[in-house]
Structure formats: structure tokens, C-alpha cells
Amino acid sequence: MYRILIVEDDEGIAEGVEHQICGWGFEARCAADFRDVIGEFLAFDPQLVLMDIGLPFFNGYHWCTEIRKLSSVPIVFLSSASDNMNIVMAMNMGGDDFITKPFDSNVLIAKIQAILRRTYDFAAAPAVMSHRGAVLNMDDATLSYGGEKIDLTKNEYRILQALLEKRGKVVSRDSLMQKLWESDEFVDENTLTVNVTRLRKKLNAAGLEDFITTKVGMGYLVE
């Protein structure tokens, strides 16, 4: 099920769009904190964002730019300001489409479906995974948090990737050791323990305390 984040400060429009989207089988959430749209984005981890231009505190162009620093997720602008300058500005800021208010709900759904199909039907796996404000970049095997990059070893990256892929579920030590075997290095119980300990120290030093939970006799999880 695709997740769609609606960044729209008009509650009536936002709730109407959310209802329409959910009726087509998507999962939708309306942003509530317009001071921290990035926090809402990272918490929901959507596959598409519907972005109003005229928002409190910072406009939609600002938040589009901030999202583009983290993700290539499709962003569709919604605005009653449909002059050419706004449309050009939206596209230049990294937007993927522009829908003028008031809009026909069927047109909105059709555009959403087309963009999702175009983006994900033939796309590779997403280039980033996020949790608790931390962003794992799979292009350069680094973790970003609070504007800082945390360098990871190959094994630390693979451990974190495996845990984030199964976020909320326990990943057994055997599964993690199999993941580390992909590095063509010998991996035993002690090697895994050492790598998890080092990874935790890096996470704690960056302010991500208790990011990885140990389930005794079972394995580890990120929740």
C-alpha cells in the first residue's frame, strides 16, 4: 500500500483529499506540525507528497527543497496560484507535477496513480531508509542525523540496513550473520557482537540512544 503525505493547512481540503485517497486503497496522513514538515515526512516515510504552496511558517517551496536533500520521492504541488511563474518555480524546486485548486478529485487520483506507476513500477529499491530522524543513505552507505553524517563500516551498514528493512520486527542473529557473510569475510557470533557494539557506540555518540534493542535469545530490532 502506497503512503501519501498531505501537506495542506486548510483542514477541509486536507481531510477531503485524505478521505478520497484512502477510498482508493492508499494510506494517507495529513501533516499536523507545519513548523516541522521534515519530521512528519521522516516519521511517515511516504511514497508521494501532496504539497500546498501557501503554508504557515515556511512555504511549500522551502519544504520541497528540504525533502529533496533527503529523498527523490515524488512531490505534487497543490495551489490556487496557477500562474506560469508559480508552476515554473514548483518544477524548478524539484516538484513532479502541479495541480490547480479547486481540482476535480478524479483528476487528482488519476495523477497520483500515474505518478506512482511511473515512479515505482520500474524503479529500483528506494535509495534511503529513515527512522527517528536518522536517514540511511544506500548510495554512499552513510547514516545522517541532525545534519551530521555518521560513517559506517561495511558490516555496520549491512546490520543497520537489515534492521531497518524489518523495522518493528526482531531480526535473528543468524539472519544478521548471513547478511554479513555477503562481505565474503568469516563471520561468527563474536564478530557479530563486536560489530553491533561498535555500531551502538556510534549511534549513541550521535544522539541516537537505544536505537537498537536487544531481545535476549532472539536477536535485535529497531522500533
pLDDT at 68 over 70: yes
Computed over every residue of the chain, the mean pLDDT equals: 83
Express each pLDDT in 186-217 by its tens digit: 566 788 888 899 999 999 999 999 999 999 88
Query: What was the pLDDT predicted at 80?
Result: 73
Residue 79 in grid coordinates: 495551489
CB 28 within 8 A of CB 105: no
Express each pLDDT in 146-185 by its tens digit: 878 888 888 899 899 899 988 889 999 888 887 777 654 5
Residue 76 φ then ψ, to 5°: -110, 120
Band of the pLDDT at 81, cuts 50, 70, 90?
A: low
Please tell me the chain's helix, strand, coil percentages from 3-state DSSP, rounded to the nearest 5.
Answer: 40, 20, 35
Give the Cα separation of 133 and 91 in Å (integer): 26
In our burial notation (b when 16+ CB lie closer than 10 A, e otherwise), range 170-187 reads: ebebeebeebbeeeeeeb
